[in-house]
Structure 1
């Protein structure tokens, strides 16, 4: 259980507290202000309201980006979530050693994983969709077709 609580603390609470704390500064820098959250394709497997496992934490990050984009749409701050793809990192090797070993050499490099993050940071905001989820420099769907990952704002 500790692992799930740690994931929730880092992925959800950390994202929320840092972003909320910085909103006054972001509003002052509205022309260039943007929040980019690195999520995961794992969120495609999880609805928002189930338990606090990793994939759900990543789903919550995307939902937070959507909510902030809605709440601050008139403040000029851009909010984006993105998926870097499977990159060969120590985190992947440690958390999924068999998976990492099996697909060794087939992962993206760190640079390839970081590409869309950097692209989002440098694009003119008028070319981006605030609240959007991005993969490989393009807006990607937030839910697979026919998935039970959708939820309402009340949820």
Structure 2
């Protein structure tokens, strides 16, 4: 969908932005080509982490591919916030940390900040948390080299969606 919007984003540039809301869940999974769980049994939490890792890798790739178009691409994570989604998906976690998680407003802070600040403050393709650039990979997490798979994954996604370049 983002790539289908590129002509409109180009018209809105300079200053057009794409902000991908990811999650710290990305730290638990490398980028993998197995988007359909064909190599293992489906695991919802793992799929979530894989999707969040993919979002960050796609954001990097868009920044690389469209850097000369005047469009900024940023990914971020809001921290753990008390939302209906967290309560439904992780009920035990939500109950245990009730009152200790961020409010929805606190969770939205960095995405709003990315949308409103001058683009010169940011690095396109970067990942942000609490109004600062954050690492995309944690030491010893086994995710650092996985973004090299992004081109073949994009090709697979395009094929699944019958979308050509």
User: Structure 2 length normalisation: TM-score?
Assistant: 0.80
> Which of structures 1 and 2 has the bigger CA Rg?
2
Residue 153 (structure 1) aligns with: 148
Aligned residues: 138
Distance in 2 between residues matched to 1:84 and 1:152, nearest whole Å: 22
Counterpart residue number, 1:24: 7
Q: Kindly indicate whether the alpha-carbon contact (under 8 Å) linking 1:50 and 1:56 is maintained by their aligned counterparts in 2.
A: no
Q: d(CA) in 1 for partners of 2:55 and 2:111? A: 15
Equivalence for 1:13: none
Q: CA RMSD in A?
A: 1.2
TM-score by length of 1: 0.85
What is the CA distance between 1:145 and its match in structure 2?
1.4
Q: Which has the higher contact order (CA 8 A, sep 6+)?
A: 2
Unaligned runs of 5+ in 2: 36-46, 151-165
Contact 2:31/2:149, CA 8 A, preserved across alignment: no
| Residue equivalent to 1:39 | 22
Partner of 1:71: 65
**Match in the other structure for 1:138:** 132
Q: Distance in 1 between matches of 2:4 and 2:106?
A: 30
Q: CA deviation at 1:146?
A: 2.6
Taking the aligned partners of 1:144 and 1:153, their CA distance within structure 2 comes to 17
Distance in 2 (CA, whole Å) between partners of 1:125 and 1:119 is 11
Runs of 4 or more consecutive aligned structure 1 residues displaced over 3 Å after TM superposition: none
Instruction: Flag the 1:61–1:152 CA change in 2: closer, same or farther, 3 A.
Output: closer
